Structure 1
Amino acid sequence: MNKQITVTAAILGMLAVVAGAFGAHALKKVLSPEHLEAWRTAVQYHFYHVFAILFLAIYARDGKEVTWPFIFFLLGIICFSGSLYLLSCRDVLKAPGLVKLGPVTPLGGFFFIVGWGWLAVAVLKAK
């Protein structure tokens, strides 16, 4: 098991739980239903990719190359979920300029796709 990847996944998992709880309790009263749904989507994809990163940590124990899928999953969490977290709260933060982050969300989705594709290639190339 790759210790660095596991620790990163643990920290990201902790942050996903915090974000989910924050959305369910603190933000439920202040966000519109549409923004709250975007927050939930961010938490979901954040969590999905924490589990993917944990898989990479286990898969890496056999010396398999997982660096690039790890980087792309991490970038996906930051760009996809991070931008949705900020976009969801732009009214509460009184920062309408955050709407400019809109194009970052699909970029994060692209990073997720590349990470999964890279993982597939890495598995197929493994002996």
Structure 2
Amino acid sequence: MQSRRSYQTLIGIGSLLAALAVAAGAFGAHMLKQILDPPMLAVFETAARYQMYHALGMIAAGLAGQVFGCLRVLRAGWCFAAGILLFCGSLYGVSLLGIRWLGALTPIGGVAFILGWSLLGWSVWREKMPGQD
């Protein structure tokens, strides 16, 4: 069983990333709409949307970890974090800075997202609720 602090850290970082996703969405809608061309704005909006989805996944993994206390759930949360860094980070870099080669990292981040959801689902399916036999 992992320490409760590990799951709290996951929830805290997930919450911070969710708040940043809201800020990114607002920034895109109000500031970047006048600066970026429509295709690059769409890339930026995709990054912000996926950041929110997977920040919520991190929070869910942290909460599930507090219930089940298994390492797989913790790993799922860190897969979400890696995916946010690689997938969303690369899309932010492409859209804001025009660094096209960062697009090569995007699919790796997508795989991290898929792995995170798979681990989370498998973990919750396999583990028993506390007090169940």
Q: Under a length normalisation based on structure 1, what TM-score does the superposition of the two structures give?
A: 0.88
Write out aligned runs for 1:1-127 (5 A): 2-62=7-67, 63-65=69-71, 66-91=73-98, 98-127=99-128
Partner SS for 1:103:
helix
Tell me by how many angstroms 1:125 deviates. 2.3
Tell me by how many angstroms 1:122 deviates. 1.3
State the percentage of identical aligned residues: 37
Q: Under a length normalisation based on structure 2, what TM-score does the superposition of the two structures give?
A: 0.85
Code of the aligned partner of 1:111: A
Which structure has greater helix proportion? 2
The unaligned stretches of length 5 or more in structure 1 are 92-97
> Aligned pair count?
121
Code of the aligned partner of 1:71: W
- The structure 1 segments of at least 4 consecutive aligned residues displaced by more than 3 Å after TM superposition are none
Code of the aligned partner of 1:58: L
In structure 2, C-alpha distance between the alignment counterparts of 1:74 and 1:123, rounded to whole Å: 19
Code of the aligned partner of 1:40: E
The unaligned stretches of length 5 or more in structure 2 are 129-133
CA RMSD of aligned residues (A): 1.4
